[in-house]
Structure 1
Amino acid sequence: MTTLDFVLRERGPVPQHTLIWLHGLGADGYDFAPLVDALELPSDLGLRVVLPHAPVRPVTINGGASMRAWYDFRSLEFGRGEATEDIEDSIGLIHELLAAERAALPAGGKLLLGGFSQGGVMTLAAGLRAEPRPDALVVLSAYLWNGLPEAERAPPVFQAHGEQDPVIPLAAGAAAHRQLLDAGVDTQWHTYPMAHAVCPEEIADLTRWLLQVLSA
């Protein structure tokens, strides 16, 4: 197992909390680096944002081309077309990063895990199985892979999805939300008139949610 390389962004001179953010298929850690400024969180909150690069691997649905991906998609059948061995490998890498960042936090500091698209899928897959658990999860334009493990100990979750998403349909995200709700997870669900993307209204809602989580 290799260690994930990452991009680092920090707001404030002394980090108090850490957000690990997982990018989508074919992107890299730089893709969401602008998120740090877009969130408009106060600098004295001391947020450290770690944006890891997924491993490079061939992706079947993209003609076998090699790119950064948390797992191979052999077909666009959610829950069936993913390469399970890749997901398990990526979970191990993400858990390693979570443990390192947790150990570096000051007393009372909170550790959050989030991601977009394939990164959001991995946020649920890794975040719900991590020990110790993250303090909160952010899942944008994603779905739940392989069920809901140990949901009774799940952290709060922010979920958002585009109503016209042609890549991961709104129904897939909504189904994940229903499973989390049915399991008693504290989750917020937001939809926006957009495709497979992120919009300013979504960032504003996420900012408000993060301020509540980090100040609790």
Structure 2
Amino acid sequence: MSLPTVERETRPSPIWSVIWLHGLGADGNDFAPIVPELVDPAWPGIRFVFPHAPVRPVTVNNGMPMRAWYDIKGLAIADKQDVEGIRASIADVEALIAREEERGVPASRVVLAGFSQGGAMALSAGLRHRESLAGILVLSAYLPLHETIEAERSGANHATPIFWGHGSADPIVPMALGEQSRQALETLGHRIDWHSYPMGHQVSLAEIADVRAWLTERFADA
């Protein structure tokens, strides 16, 4: 059963899908308002899918239940990784991709996107997906389960374009952690379009403009 979602279609019968995963403690409504700012009128019809992560206790927030793709167990975001939670959310993302395919949008026209913990999941699920995706959009995030990515990644997404934006003053996901993840993937041969911005753990207008340009290239590829 797929996760509940908030959806926005830019025109009837969309032929592309962008599955956008929110950050820790937010929900699918968090990025839905970005659609009017982001969309270029020249783009083909797109379905934006903003799923709600499951509610689970989060250790670093005193065990308070909130929407999260996985538990954060250590003060540093990448410490003591919740392997079981990450793998369960990878399965949830796989189900969302399958639902888009059932609705007539092939994986090759699906972009996986996410902010913070959602960006970590977009990377984790996208690189393991067995069919080629149109792109992976990573905002203020890092690569969890990095120890197993070389063995578990799918050849189908070895050349998939990856946009990665990060704030130079990010106090939640330090840019150094993002850079380490980027370098690890580049060492494995992945192509990453890296952008840094003078900001904290957020999204800026300059970043939205860069994302729009990158998505325009993806939609022109098909």
Residue 184 of structure 1: aligned partner:
189
**Aligned residue runs from structure 1 range 22-171, under 5 A:** 22-42=21-41, 45-106=44-105, 110-147=109-146, 148=149, 149-150=152-153, 152=155, 153-154=157-158, 155-171=160-176
Residue 205 of structure 2: aligned partner:
200
Distance across 1 between alignment mates of 2:51 and 2:190: 27
Question: Superposition RMSD on alpha carbons, in Å?
Answer: 1.7
**C-alpha contact 1:22 1:119 (8 A) present in aligned 2:** yes
Distance across 2 between alignment mates of 1:96 and 1:151: 17
Taking a change above 3 Å as real, the CA distance of residues 177 and 107 of structure 1, as seen in their structure-2 partners, is: closer
Taking a change above 3 Å as real, the CA distance of residues 120 and 86 of structure 1, as seen in their structure-2 partners, is: same
**C-alpha contact 1:78 1:145 (8 A) present in aligned 2:** no
1:109 Cα deviation after fit = 6.4
1:37 Cα deviation after fit = 1.1
2:179 aligned residue (170, 174, 188): 174
Taking a change above 3 Å as real, the CA distance of residues 88 and 12 of structure 1, as seen in their structure-2 partners, is: same
Counting aligned pairs with the same residue, the percent is: 44
**C-alpha contact 1:151 1:185 (8 A) present in aligned 2:** no
Distance across 2 between alignment mates of 1:14 and 1:215: 18
**C-alpha contact 2:5 2:49 (8 A) present in aligned 1:** yes
Aligned residues: 215
Question: Scaled by the length of structure 1, what TM-score is found?
Answer: 0.93
Unpaired runs of at least 5, structure 2: none
| Structure 1 moving runs of 4+ over 4 Å | 106-109
Taking a change above 3 Å as real, the CA distance of residues 132 and 151 of structure 1, as seen in their structure-2 partners, is: closer
Distance across 1 between alignment mates of 2:7 and 2:215: 19
Deviates more, 1:73-82 or 1:54-63: 73-82
Residue 220 of structure 2: aligned partner:
215
Deviates more, 1:204-213 or 1:92-101: 92-101
Distance across 1 between alignment mates of 2:43 and 2:145: 39
Unpaired runs of at least 5, structure 1: none
